[in-house]
Every structure is written in C-alpha cells, then in structure tokens.
Amino acid sequence: MTLPHNGLRWHDAPKDYGPQNDLQSLHPLEPFGGIQPDFCRTGSQGRQARPADDRCHAPQGVPHRSQPVHQKGAIPRRIGRTKGGLNSKLHAVCDGAGRPLVLLLSEGQMSDYKGAAMMLNALPPAKILLGDRGYDAGRFRNALARRGIVPCIPSKTNRRMPIPHDRTLYRQRHKIENMFGKLKDWRRIHTRYDRCAHTFFSAICIAATLIFWANQ
C-alpha cells in the first residue's frame, strides 16, 4: 500500500499512534508531500518502529480539545426539584443597609436553616440577626448564641413553646427582600439560563457588585 495523492485516512493509522484527532491536529499533511509519517510507508519493509519520544499523539494526562475536561457529574449544577419544577435557591446575608455580604447558591429543595448553617463561618460580626420562620431551628439559634448574636426570628406555628421576638425590629427585614427584588431586575438572574452553577453564580456576584457596591 502506497501513499495516495490525497493522503491516508487518519483512522487507518495504527492504534500505537494515538487518537486520530490528535494526529490530525499535531501532524497535518501539508500539500505537495510536506509530512509523511512512517505509518504511511508500506511494502517489503513494513511499518518502521518509531522512537518512544517521537509519538504523534499527545502524552497521557493531557486532554484533547474535543474531550471534556471534567467527568460528567463532577461539578454540581445546584439544580433541584421543587413544587414549581427544577429550580435553584439563593441564600444571602445583608447588612443594615440592605447590601449583600454573603451569598450561597444551592438546590431549590434545600431548607433555609440548612443553607444558613453552611454560611455560619462566613458571617460577619453582628449583634442581631433577622430571619423569617424558615430559620427557626434550635441548632441554628444555638449556633448564633455561641457567636454572641441575638436571633430575631419568629417561631414556627408548630412550635410547642413559641420564642418571643422584637416585632418592631423585625420590620427591618424588608431590606433583604428589597435586595432580592433588585437582583431579579436582571433578567439573567430572574430566570436561570446557565447550565453550570459557577457561571450562574458569577452573574449573581457581578450584579450584586454593580448594584450595591460599585457606587459606594
């Protein structure tokens, strides 16, 4: 078998030379007989042995451009099934002026107090923390007490012994709701179009920076 006028097909190359995509990208056959690898030579001599350091394919461990860098499912998408369908949930902590300080993206079915427990180590120094009934959990209240933070959280309706809270101070909780409303003015945040969680969360951080912190 001799080298045709248009060259051999890449998938006809021996398997020792690696994937055909690597051969095509690393050693393109130029017109007018520019490069003719040894596997194109046949006849009585047969295929000549090539040195180990002169292989056409990329070394092991280097992914090809057509191959995914990460395995499927290695990076979580932070999308969960809720009553309204597949959705994500944004947990946030803001200051007294309604500016976001801590943000966390999770699956839509994650409860509020579980998301708050994941943000405990990132909480800034504070005296009082306001939260709705979704954060009424004994573990979360105890964790705040150990940090010297007084929780202002209304008790759930199914709590046997309701815990009193400052109703006047609780009215200031509208600031974080206003913060979510301003973030959702951005269509890309109001409706998630991104498949990857880090891409969607990056858009949220950019919007929060421009809306609340860029002009400070």
What pLDDT does 37 receive?
A: 42
**Mean pLDDT for all residues in the chain:** 79
Looking at the structure, tell me whether residues 35 and 105 fall in a common domain. no
Question: Looking at residues 37-55, what average pLDDT do you find?
Answer: 44
Looking at the structure, tell me whether residues 43 and 138 fall in a common domain. no
Looking at the structure, tell me whether residues 7 and 31 fall in a common domain. yes
Instruction: Find out whether 91 and 112 touch, Cβ atoms under 8 Å.
Output: yes
What pLDDT does 38 receive?
A: 44
In this predicted structure, the answer to whether residue 55 has a pLDDT above a threshold of 50 is no
Tokens of 167: 């109703």
What pLDDT does 28 receive?
A: 45
Instruction: Find out whether 38 and 50 touch, Cβ atoms under 8 Å.
Output: yes
Looking at the structure, tell me whether residues 117 and 177 fall in a common domain. yes
To the question of pTM greater than 0.75 for the whole model, the response is no
Query: Which residues have C-beta within 8 Å of that of residue 192, sequence separation ≥ 6?
Result: 88, 200
Number of domains in the chain: 2
In this predicted structure, the answer to whether residue 34 has a pLDDT above a threshold of 60 is no
pLDDT in tens, 194-215: 989 999 999 999 999 999 999 7
What pLDDT does 162 receive?
A: 92
In this predicted structure, the answer to whether residue 47 has a pLDDT above a threshold of 90 is no
Tokens of 166: 């400052």
Looking at the structure, tell me whether residues 103 and 208 fall in a common domain. yes
Looking at the structure, tell me whether residues 204 and 114 fall in a common domain. yes
Looking at the structure, tell me whether residues 96 and 2 fall in a common domain. no
Query: Which residues have C-beta within 8 Å of that of residue 63, sequence separation ≥ 6?
Result: 69
Domain-terminating residue out of 42, 67, 92:
67
Q: How is the chain split among helix, strand and coil, in percent rounded to 5?
A: 35, 10, 50
Residue 37 structural domain: 1-67
Looking at the structure, tell me whether residues 115 and 170 fall in a common domain. yes
